[in-house]
Chains A and B, each alone.
Chain A
Amino acid sequence: MATTTTETDRTVPVRGTAVETTKTFRPDPGEAPEEDLREAVLQLEREGEWIVQRVPEPYYEAPTKYGRMKKIPYERTWHHKSCGQCGHIPGYSTSIFWLNRVLGYDYFDPRDQTSCTAWNYYASATSNQAAQAAVAMRNFAAAYETGYFPLIHCGTSFGHYKEVRHELVHDHALRRQVRGIIERLGRPFVMPEEIVHYSEWMYAVRDQLQERVVHDLGPIVSTVHPACHYYKLQSGDAIYDPEIYGGQRTAVVTGVVQALGAQVADYSTWYDCCGFGFRHILVQRDFTRSFATLRKIEVMKEEANPDVVLTHDTGCVTSLDKSQFAAQAHGRNVGVPVMSESQFAALAMGAHPFRVTQLHWHSTDYRPLLAKMGIDAEQAWAEFQEDVKKIEAGTMDYLTWESVL
């Protein structure tokens, strides 16, 4: 078993993702406790209720919680961006796009897209079923009209859209109401064949990412926070791999990080949420700060002492990263950089830490991690400052893709 050394030179075992049991769990789709909603989606298409947008070929087939296979498109993806990622953690989305470009995949970054507006649902309850479903179906229609397949960046949007799909399949009256709205907007009524999260795409391309790693990640110890809205809401089609955690936890993020060559250490509060709470992160942050640090970061520090915390959703990065400043001021055992696995993968593959992964938008000190990865943060920051000067001087309008690939 690998070990890592804490600040007090105490050795902490790095418990990985192999389960401590001889039992093998192989889920049987025939024994699944939940219906396969995708069959109902196709049946409704046969009955003329909606159009089903097919996953474009070629696609990857990934195992899900009950052993059913899920199609994950490699390319021709329509990127359903996240308001929180684009707004506050822009290196998150930029890294996803950068990885697509490095792998040579065709994708579409739409302007004809709203967020899922789930803030209006989970935070303030100032919306309703019909509105939320209409927002989802309007976005799905916009994707269909471009010929590209929706790839959803936000864990909450992903989970919420699966809730919407469940409601639309089972509630005839709701489906009729929402169809009426979409048709009144002059849009087609379309349900995607699969609802796919970007971290599933990351999982699908993990071997291709591995081939392009340029830094030695062997010494890097990470902890993974699985995002609640990814695998707790409508959990049946989240990716589970018998080889990772014995198929007892979702395999996304962990499977990618291990493929990249870094260590993933276990910790006891992995099931706990990050403390985001929607309304809480904005107007009741004492809860968020306390939960994020006491139940997550401090436990990770105590049990695994990671170099980095990796996750796959907007709110989780925000809560776990931003909450550490106040806790650090109180001398608590915190101080671990937090980012998405897309940013970590991009860094591992040689992306610029500021031009691409945009780490200057993060709060907790990431420089020790970069040093351990063999990345010169000072030189990279100086390069970024040159870009900033050019933009300020008007000699460069924007940083372009050409300058970061």
Chain B
Amino acid sequence: MEKAYADVPAEEKTRLYREVVQDARFDTYLYGCYECGICVAACPSARFYDFSPRKIAQALAREDVDLVYEQMNDDVWNCSQCFSCLRCPRGNNPGGLITIMREVAVNNGLRTTKEALAGYTRIIYKIMTTGTQVSPDMLQEDAFPDWGPQVKDVADHLAVWRRALPPETMHTTALSWEVEERTMRELYAIWKWTGTLDMIAQLDEGLHDIMEEIMDDALEDSGIA
């Protein structure tokens, strides 16, 4: 059987593998593997998908750059990031390894990553521009038809039900709570200074440009250098 992603040059796979293992977190996330399978037994995604946190740890430990590349494309987005795999008797953190592999996949704009996050960009926009991502106005029946009629009830009464909340900070609909302007500008500065906004350019150039404009406008007169 032909290997997956056989058309991708070995040098490219090796380059991405090195990005993963050179991450500062890597050395505290992988110590070896007993092949005991405790992480798989605890893993919710392993029950639902053809997915194995043990194989992730194994592939990285064996420096199997072909398999790591395949996992980076086909497996990592199945992880629930619940960290049940931290039950590992060896002290490994397969969920953390996946966090790193995902970041490398985003930073390198892998096609499969763009596909996995295609429906998710509005959330990224919300997080990065407001700092309170799960906003009340996200509750729309077309977005959550499987949650039943209660979602429509909330959407139909959203503005008045938000005002029927005693905490003064929570009378909002587009944000989860009122956030000060200064706070928001500081968040924008953090995204820019840490290269996070640049990561978005690899994923979705249009989204990046929209957010950059919002952030630059807000920061321009803020006094934040």
Contacts and interface: CB of A to CB of B under 8 A. Distances in A.
A119 B80 contact: no
- Interface size grouping (class) on chain B: 35 or more
A128 B195 contact: yes
Given A94-B167, A291-B47, A126 B196 contact: yes
B134 interface: yes
A386 B120 CA distance: 39
Given A87-B138, A87-B176, A363 B148 contact: yes
Interface in B66-102: 77, 80-84, 86-87, 99, 102
A358 B187 contact: no
B65 interface: no
Contacts of B177: 81, 86, 111, 113
Contacts, number: 260
A232 B83 contact: yes
A387 B195 CA distance: 47
Chain A interface, DSSP helix/strand/loop, else mixed: helix
A39 interface: no
B59 interface: no
Contact of A232 (B47, B86, B116, B169): B86
Looking at B81, B148, B225, which has the most chain A CB atoms within 10 Å of its CB? B81
A81 B80 contact: no
A133 B162 CA distance: 31
A312 to B, nearest CB: 15
B194 A355 contact: no
Interface of A: 81-88, 90, 93-94, 97-98, 109-115, 117, 119-131, 134-135, 138, 142, 159, 167, 170-171, 173-174, 181, 184-185, 187, 228-229, 232-233, 235, 271-273, 275-280, 282-283, 285, 287, 289-291, 295, 314, 322, 325-326, 355-356, 358, 360-363, 384, 387-388, 391-392, 397-401, 403-404
23 contacts: A87-B136, A90-B165, A90-B170, A109-B167, A111-B169, A113-B177, A115-B131, A115-B132, A115-B133, A126-B124, A126-B203, A135-B187, A184-B224, A187-B186, A229-B83, A232-B82, A232-B83, A279-B77, A279-B120, A363-B151, A398-B164, A398-B165, A399-B163
Interface of B: 24-25, 28, 42, 44-45, 47-49, 77, 80-84, 86-87, 99, 102-103, 105-106, 116-117, 119-120, 123-124, 127-128, 131-136, 138-139, 144, 146-148, 150-151, 153-154, 157, 160-171, 176-180, 182-184, 186-187, 189-191, 193-196, 199-200, 203, 224-225
